[in-house]
Amino acid sequence: MSRTLDLTIDLINRKSVTPEDAGCQDMMANILKPLGFEIEDLSFADTKNIWARKGTEAPVFCFAGHTDVVPSGPEQNWQTPPFKATEKDGYIHGRGAADMKGSLAAMLVATENFVKANPQHKGSIAFLITSDEEGPFINGTTKVIDTLEARNEKITWCLVGEPSSTDLVGDIVKNGRRGSLTGDLLVKGIQGHVAYPHLARNPIHESTLALAELANTQWDKGNDSFPATSFQISNINGGTGAGNVIPGELKICFNFRFSTEVTDQQLITRTLQVLDAHKLDYDIDWTFNGQPFLTDSGKLVEATQQAIKGCTGRETVLSTAGGTSDGRFIAPTGAQVIELGPVNATIHKIDECVKIDDLDTLADIYQDILQRLLA
Ligand SMILES: [Zn+2]
């Protein structure tokens, strides 16, 4: 049986729904320690994190990932028990198989094989592992990065194991992500009878033109690496439920996914200009979910493209599409960051699974990247 599969099964069988770790990180540490890694527990509040490092020199190659998984949903809807890894038709099934316990297993096997073949390798190898990537991500990677930054410990190259592949392992590598900014807008009016509108102020009527303008604004044109910034309204709530009442307020939630052509501050300023131009009476709360980042070239991208080509024959495609990831906390330190993991077709879904052969291929690719950068 493949060692990567073995470790994947061990991890899936630990029910580590955010922020639980369920012993996954101890299991990983027990493999890394005998290879010469120093393990540092950097847990904060309910979140378990480890920083493991072998070597003291630069450059530092870091594997980053998370041991937590999203909930399974109703277990009876699964073909196999979500927290008991089950082999079926060449796939291993279970929550976290693709996102991202298979990647963690591949990182461990790649490191074992690389260190055994290159005991005197250059630089350092590190693991940054958290148990809260899927949840509020307050006490996870961001806190570990703060700790490393405070003592000026730098990551040169970071490979995040998020499931980046679409059809075949390695077909897509994420070399950046868009930024994300959410606005919660409360537009205030004056409640009244629909038959006496001159005694009321209708926040729905007043908002519609402003919202139409926001929805039709071209925020930027994107660039070679990013699509144009998008603005999407996700929720509108207003009204009392009665047909004869003008409501006193309207709540609107919207989100920007933005490119490197604009900043969060520019988006906020331009949004407020539109709201003010339409003379709305409003309160607004902003939630900033992460800056965009991009690793458009450099040794990490090069080594990754060559390793994928060498192990699979595939020309990988670099992409910045998709949601946010913990890469957004690591990239601002100056690290080159890419995301490479298994096929993401079933992530967060019922019957999450990963192709068993892909796990070994992924371990081979990871090892080949180490070889190219640190041998
Ligand atoms: Zn993930």
Q: Do 204 and 271 fall into the same domain? A: yes
The CA 73 to ligand 1 mean position distance, Å, reads: 17
Q: Which whole number is the average pLDDT over 244-258?
A: 97
Identify the pLDDT of residue 375.
Answer: 96
- Annotation-wise, does 302 bind a ligand? no
Q: Do 283 and 316 fall into the same domain? A: no
Q: Do 24 and 92 fall into the same domain? A: yes
Percent of the chain with pLDDT over 90: 95
Which tens digits make up the pLDDT trace of 29-77? 999 999 999 999 999 999 999 999 999 999 999 999 999 999 999 999 9
The CA 325 to ligand 1 mean position distance, Å, reads: 7
Catalytic: which of 20, 68, 112, 358?
A: 68
Identify the pLDDT of residue 323.
Answer: 78
Catalytic: which of 21, 112, 132, 133?
A: 133
Catalytic, 68? Answer yes
How many residues does this entry show for the chain?
A: 375
Chain-centroid distance, C-alpha 141: 11
Which tens digits make up the pLDDT trace of 134-146? 988 899 999 999 9
The CA 66 to ligand 1 mean position distance, Å, reads: 7
Q: What whole-number distance in Å separates Cα of residue 264 and Cα of residue 158?
A: 25
- Residue 39 CB partners (closer than 8 Å, separation 6+): 29, 32, 33, 50, 51, 52
**364 — pLDDT class (breaks 50, 70, 90):** very high
- Annotation-wise, does 348 bind a ligand? yes
pLDDT above 90: residue 325: no
Average pLDDT, the chain: 96
Q: Do 351 and 216 fall into the same domain? A: no
pTM of the model: 0.87
Which tens digits make up the pLDDT trace of 231-243? 999 999 999 999 9
Q: Which of the listed residues 290, 321, 350 is the one where a domain comes to its end?
A: 290
The CA 213 to ligand 1 mean position distance, Å, reads: 35
Q: Do 22 and 135 fall into the same domain? A: yes
Which tens digits make up the pLDDT trace of 185-205? 999 999 999 999 999 999 999
Q: Give the count of domains, the chain.
A: 2
**Residues 309, 312, 316, 319, CA torsion sign:** negative
Q: Which whole number is the average pLDDT over 299-311?
A: 98
Q: Do 269 and 206 fall into the same domain? A: yes
Q: Do 320 and 279 fall into the same domain? A: no
Q: Do 48 and 195 fall into the same domain? A: no
**296 — pLDDT class (breaks 50, 70, 90):** confident
- Here the CATH number for the domain that contains residue 159 is 3.40.630.10
Q: Which of the listed residues 263, 290, 317 is the one where a domain comes to its end?
A: 290
Q: Do 367 and 264 fall into the same domain? A: no
Q: Do 312 and 367 fall into the same domain? A: yes
Q: Do 11 and 155 fall into the same domain? A: yes
pLDDT above 90: residue 291: no
pLDDT above 90: residue 226: yes
- Annotation-wise, does 205 bind a ligand? no
The whole domain housing 49 covers 3-177+292-374
- Annotation-wise, does 162 bind a ligand? yes
The CA 248 to ligand 1 mean position distance, Å, reads: 41
Q: Which whole number is the average pLDDT over 320-327?
A: 86
Side-chain half-sphere exposure of 97, counting CA atoms within 13 A: 33
Q: Do 158 and 193 fall into the same domain? A: no
Q: Which of the listed residues 255, 290, 325 is the one where a domain comes to its end?
A: 290
- Here the CATH number for the domain that contains residue 252 is 3.30.70.360
